[in-house]
Structure 1
Amino acid sequence: MVQSAWWAECVPGSARLRWIGRSLAGGRVVLALAIVAGGAARASELSLATGLEYTSGKYGDTAASTSWYLPLVARYEQGSFIFRATLPYLRNTGAVSRTPDGVAIPGTGGSQEGFGDIVLAAGATLWSASDFSVDGVAKLKLPTADPGKELGTGKTDWSMQFDGVQRVGPVSVLATLGWKKYGDPDGVDFRNPLFARLGFSWRLSAVTSVGLYHDWRERLRPRGSEVSETTAYVSVRLDPTWKLQLYGVKGFSDASPDYGAGLMVSRIY
């Protein structure tokens, strides 16, 4: 499952990254990258988003395990600050249950579903020029999922990351570097990994953009695998308040899904 992603938006004459986010490297795509043209940034803005994602992977096992992920995302922007809350609903089936933040834990072999862990995030623009900007983002995962259903680890995690975007005409290059502190379930000692993303977005028109990015994360255990997965997407602004994103995911390691696909819809208020 893919999660961080930003929902990024660059307006003409500005390279500011406006994210609502995906939880980086090894989680599901809550919102994929999107760079689209628009008007001047608002002093304050509220948006709500939801969607549906399906992923399938073996994660080192012999048979595939599958996951359905339905997030509810609320984002509020005030000046250079952005706040976000995500509540996911999960349905995992198979011998491996992968949490939205990219942790593979033993599944029940059958199907389990329920609400997952709540993720809170806060970010601010640290530096901005006409064609380049850097944001700082802090995230906190609260252990609200039922660990008995293997929908979460039952522990609190937190992370810090820096997101940068460089715009050159209709093309924007995006990069992320971060570090995450995982809570350790009983009998497990997770490493605290670095994670990164590199990608680009190409604005085809004032309402449509396409892009590609790759996520990487260090292994969580000495015998584990690194996250390595690529996402391609298309984003369309349906009108001044509605956006639609479609995306596909391809994994390249045992810590990533073999494949996945999803969509997100958001509305600005």
Structure 2
Amino acid sequence: MIKRKFPHKTLLLLMLPVCQTAIAEQGTFSLTSGIDFSSGKYGGSTATEVIYIPFTARYETGDGLYKLTVPYISITGPGNVTPNIGRAVYASNAARTDAGMGDVVATATRSLINSAQSGIVIDITGKVKFGTADKFKGLGSGANDYAGETSVYKIFGRASVFGTIGYKIFGQSPGYTLNNTFYGSLGFSNKIDDQVSAGMIYDYRQATSSWGDPQKEWTIFLNRKINKQWKMQTYFFTGSGISSPDFGAGAMLTQIF
């Protein structure tokens, strides 16, 4: 069973600038959109290409951070591959192209520690993925999923390291049987100057089925602050095993109000 974690990756990247400026930027509203492209064979002979376009509204106030992502998704490839779910063993692998609304994701984060003196930030986050994607087009499972995670950031001057560990509960839907999984990430970021930062993230997730394997992805990213209202994020990633894409890239543009 393969599982591309589009929301997790894009939301994690959106958090990176915050961990460096969380203390200074509170009570802000922002909108983010962009494009995420991935390609992978996932154990088959034909590549599946996925375009994921999120529209994310975000509000941060005090120790709280709230986000809502409404995505558009397009998938071209074998019919037995479903974004965020995987390759169905008994489904037809006939070539297809389908597109539509993806799964809506709501996220709430609470900062437990946010110390300017120590440079340590510890957050807890709850996520709900609503099964809004069309199951019959193979764009999603049609079920709701739930996740909880803890993230730790440590800032060392212009550099920072961060890690996340979480647990996801998959909603069950006819045709999709998924195991609940632990997942996590480790990464670092370095400010090249006052406008630009770059870094790397390693993502790991347990296999969601007995015949699948763990998902492993490596991402390099570049964040650029254009001005006080706009910032741009670009990233490239690759994965290993049948549960991960072969390669992909994305770009996100954020406006702060």
- TM-score between the two structures when normalised by the length of structure 1: 0.86
Distance 1:205 1:2, change over 3 A: farther
Gaps of 5+ in 1: 7-20, 23-28
Task: Call closer, same or farther: CA 1:35–1:188 in 2, change over 3 Å.
Answer: closer
What SS does structure 2 have at the residue aligned with 1:148? helix
User: Is the CA contact 1:67–1:90 (under 8 Å) kept in the aligned structure 2?
Assistant: yes
Letter in 1 for 2:135: P
Query: What is residue 51 of structure 1 aligned with on the other side?
Result: 34
Alignment of 1:115 with 2:101, yes or no, is: yes
Corresponding residue number in structure 1 for 2:58: 75
Please report the RMSD computed on the Cα atoms of aligned residues, expressed in angstroms.
Answer: 1.9
1:39 CA displacement? 9.2
**Which is helix-richer, 1 or 2?**
2
Whose strand fraction is larger, Structure 1's or Structure 2's? 2
Structure 1 runs, 4 residues or longer, greater than 6 Å off: none
Write the mapping of 1:89-100 to structure 2, written as runs, cut at 5 A: 89-95=72-78, 96-99=80-83
- Using the TM superposition, give the Cα deviation of residue 97 of structure 1 relative to its aligned residue in structure 2, in angstroms: 3.2
Which of residues 155, 176, 180 is equivalent to 2:164?
176
CA–CA distance in 1 between the matches of 2:175 and 2:111? 39
- Is residue 232 of structure 2 the alignment partner of residue 244 of structure 1? yes
Aligned position for 1:218? 206
After superposition, what is the alpha-carbon deviation per residue over 1:85-141, rounded to whole angstroms, capped at 9, x for unaligned? Answer: 001100001114342xx3214466210000011100000101232311110000001
Aligned residues: 246
Q: Structure 2 regions of 5+ residues with no counterpart? A: none
Distance 1:189 1:2 in 2: 17
Q: Which residue of 2 aligns with 1:231?
A: 219
Match of 2:45 in 1: 62
Task: Give the Cα–Cα distance (whole angstroms) in 1 for the partners of residues 170 and 22 of structure 2.
Answer: 39
| Structure 1, 154-163 or 89-98: larger mean CA deviation | 89-98
TM-score using structure 2 length: 0.90
Contact map agreement 2:73 2:139 (CA 8 A) in 1: yes
- Contact 1:37–1:206 (CA under 8 A) maintained in structure 2: no
Secondary structure at 2:24's aligned position in 1? Answer: coil
Match of 2:85 in 1: 103
What are the Cα deviations for residues 117-166 of structure 1, in whole angstroms up to 9, with x where unaligned? 11000001012323111100000011111101100001010000001101
* 1:258 and 2:241 aligned: no
Aligned equivalent of 1:152: 140
Shift of 1:42: 3.8
Q: What is the match of residue 12 of structure 1?
A: none
1:88 to 37, 62, 71: 71
- 1:124 counterpart = 2:110: yes
Q: Do the aligned residues in 2 keep the contact of 1:33 with 1:211 (CA within 8 Å)? A: no
CA drift at 1:57: 0.2
Instruction: Find the aligned partners of 1:142 and 1:188 in 2 and give their Cα distance.
Output: 15
